[in-house]
Structure 1
Amino acid sequence: MTPVVDTPQHLMPSGRELPLAKKRRRLPRVLLVPVVLVVGLLVVLALLPEVEPDPVVADAINKSERMYALCQKVVLEYSVTPSTVTFVSSAVASAGDGWTVSGEIDEQNVFGAMVRRPYKCEMTYDETEDLFSASLVE
């Protein structure tokens, strides 16, 4: 019969020490609340339906941007020093059968001085070609 040897609990029967169990690292409570909030927000955002833009509004925004860009091009063509032009303000308004794009620009005159002057373009739209035409009024 083998004698039973009473060994301390931290030692194996061979006499070597037992490996210590690794402690689980816990997230500090201070960080737990923000992490839970961020995860919750991401879940809520993922579950929200995508909102489709109204096609009429999107088309109107697209047209006004196109009119503004075309008017800028016309203003730059008629400017004495196009490289110095800065568009300060602009507005697009409906006017009878067409539209008016107006605003102010800062530009250098022929003497080198910066001046502010108004501009105004009258716009027409050809629906069959989906094209705008512009003429500079001021």
Structure 2
Amino acid sequence: MEQFLVELGDHTDQTTKQMLQNLIDKRLKYNRYKNIHFLLLTTAFVFGFFVFFFFYKTTVETNGSNMFDMFSFFVRKNHFLTLFFIVFTLFGSVKVIFDKKEKSKKEYHALRCEIIEKSKDLWKGDKWNQRHRVFEQMKKNYDINLYHQSK
């Protein structure tokens, strides 16, 4: 459990602390997928650009007017097929990671909205006055806004 959640003491009960810890974990998971997605997308575009540029320079410019010669040259050279396969695999992995990123974003947003909706039940009585400390720490440390539901 995060250190500031342990330091809250009696201002927040154990269930609320666990919900906040789950929210932090989901946020970190979402950030991880977001970074992986960006890295893979950038890699796929750069690698794809160089492969298509290499293909253009070696195949299209040398066998420019005859489509059959370009195709036979492409098929005869196995490295072209391998490079194009790698490019398509990279773009496929970008799609898979994008789907995982979107799923983790939905889970994170759903839990965040649940905590916001149930905040009156989670912090009752005199604990209500201390909840702003939790909200400020979540915003400052993890960029999690618990004040409003809108993104």
TM-score computed with the length of structure 1 as normaliser: 0.26
Higher-Rg structure is 1
Which of the two has greater helix per residue? 2
Higher relative strand content: 1
Structure ranking higher on relative contact order (CA contacts 8 Å, 6+ apart): 2
